Structure 1
Amino acid sequence: MLRFISFLAIIYSVNCASAPFIKPCKSSDNACLLASAQAALPIVAAGIPELGVKPLDPLHIPLVKSNTAGLEVTFSDNVVTGLKGCKIEAIKNDLAKNKQVIAMRCSTEWRGNYQMDGQMIVLPVKGEGKCVLTVQDLVVKTTSDLTTVQGEDGKPHWHIAKWKHAYEVKTNAKFQLDNLFNGNKVLADPVINFMNSNWQVVMKEMAGPSIYATIEAVIDAVEAIYKAVPAEELFISE
């Protein structure tokens, strides 16, 4: 049976020669996993070049596009901050199915450029310029599956075969879009006020691809550690 601690829990919660910041935990010891993960998260978010882990805070996302319900949106040169302050709220291992479920709560900010054209719920919207999205208490639940592959060192290494996620904003989201309708405030202000008053609906319509891209960057960081660290060093046997 594959015994593992996957996704973020693994990289934050075990101790090994290849990654000395990792503290050992048994895969069933959720209290240990939570404490270890929270302590090490800022280290991983800052990036670990020697393990091939790119910085997650700040995180640069070059391009995200979406076309939902007649609204075309492009975000470019986005910089995401706040991931180092995330809180891992739950870790659940299912060793029989080789799955792990992680729940994280983050407050983040996306800054970059936008292009938007189409219909937002009931309002027409068009513009391009600078944008800021501030999200308070974004809860992301991720389920990942692992397989084992042979590493360049000849040892078994974990590999994320697939993953899926769900998200919900618990507290608030605030949108700032410069130059909407070419700077016509008479047209722009009602749209922005509508977005901020109906942020739950707007987040579902607009933010999904940006959140996916952010999670994908975290997955890439995990994969880099899996590639660098043999699986035998990533858990304490029960």
Structure 2
Amino acid sequence: MLRYFCFLAVILGVRSASAPFITPCKKGDSACIIRSAQAAVPFLAAGIPELNVPAVDPMLLKVVKSEEAGLRLTLKNTTVTGMKDCTIEDTRLDEASDKLDVVVRCSVVLRGWYKLRGTILVLPIRGEGRDTIKIRDIVITANTKLATVKGADGQEHWHVSKWDHSFDVRTKTTFDFENLFDGNKALSDPVDAIVNANWKLVMTEIAPPIVRAITERVVAAVEAFFAAVPANELQIY
């Protein structure tokens, strides 16, 4: 069905009269769809101002809060870069239920300001200042349900009626929290070393709201495109 191609193409690039970024594919040709969508990654990452589609690289997250296992982390004015280099790993389609899963691999860098209080890996930790988080090879699976709605222009438009996600970091994450323990290096250096050595466990504690915030912004960009372009302009053959 057309809408499956539309969502896959839009989530990382689109083929339409308004955005002729990729080569159209036959329905069911997943290899072609993946190649075509991959070629369009930089276009969606940069945004499409004429269609009111916001850029997702760089992406500004004003506030993200995480409260897990006795740890309170707030990230403010965080800039996320690297989305333009994401790679489509797979697509999985269930035509009977209008569901599409898209698997994307990315490496991103987050830079901004943090405030941290509580315990991490049973260690007491506190600090406030600049932070840099580098995530290598995070694989995000976006699970979506699609629908058709009538737009303000009276035409039919695609709509993401429901979505969820899961993720796994495959390679490495490094954390640089400046001014831990008010700059006391005797306290901060050992904790910093332990946190980075156990990055996988740390990510399970702090990453879920961060990854969700990023995924939410991508879905918002997709929805903006759907609102701008009627479904009959999204082509497949």
Structure 1 outlier segments of 4+, above 4 Å = 11-14
Distance 2:70 2:92 in 1: 38
The structural deviation recorded for 1:82 is 0.3
| Alpha-carbon distance in structure 2 between the residues aligned to 1:12 and 1:31 | 15
SS at match of 2:210: helix
The aligned residue for residue 183 of structure 1 is 183
Matched position secondary structure for 1:4: helix
CA contact (8 A) 2:11 2:218 kept: no
In the TM superposition, 1:33-44 aligns within 5 A as 33-44=33-44
Number of the residue aligned with 2:200: 200
Contact 1:7–1:219 at 8 Å: present in 2 too?
Answer: no
Counterparts of 1:89-238 in structure 2, within 5 Å, are: 89-237=89-237
Mapped to 2, the partners of 1:14 and 1:185 lie a distance apart of: 50
- Partner SS, residue 202 of structure 1: helix
5+ residue gaps, structure 2? none
Cα deviation digits, residues 68-120 of structure 1 (max 9, x gap): 11111100000000000000011122221101111111111000000000011
Name structure 1 gaps, 5 residues minimum: none
Structure 1 25/66 Cα, relative in aligned 2: closer, same or farther at 3 Å? same
The aligned length equals 237
Change (3 A) 1:12 1:214: closer
Output the CA distance in 2 between the equivalents of 1:106 and 1:158.
26
1:81-92 pair list within 5 angstroms:
81-92=81-92
CA offsets 1:5-58 (integer angstroms, 9 cap, x no match):
254434556532122224322341101111111101101101111111111111
Letter in 2 for 1:71: L
TM norm structure 2: 0.95
Report if aligned partners of 1:70, 1:119 keep a CA contact under 8 Å in 2.
Answer: yes
Q: Give deviations 1:178-217, integer Å, cap 9, x for gaps.
A: 0000000111111111111000000010111111111111
The residue type paired with residue 51 of structure 1 is L
The alignment yields a C-alpha RMSD, in angstroms, of: 1.6
Moved more, 85-94 or 21-30: 21-30
SS of the residue corresponding to residue 4 of structure 2 reads: coil
Change in 2 beyond 3 A, CA 1:10/1:77? closer
Q: In the alignment, residue 107 of structure 2 is paired with which amino acid?
A: S
Tell me if the contact between 1:13 and 1:25 (Cα under 8 Å) persists in the aligned partners: no
Normalised to the residue count of structure 1, the TM-score between the two structures is 0.94
SS at the partner of 1:187? helix
Any idea what SS the aligned residue of 2:40 has? helix
Aligned partner of 1:65 in structure 2 is 65
Quick one: distance in 1 between partners of 2:9 and 2:17? 18
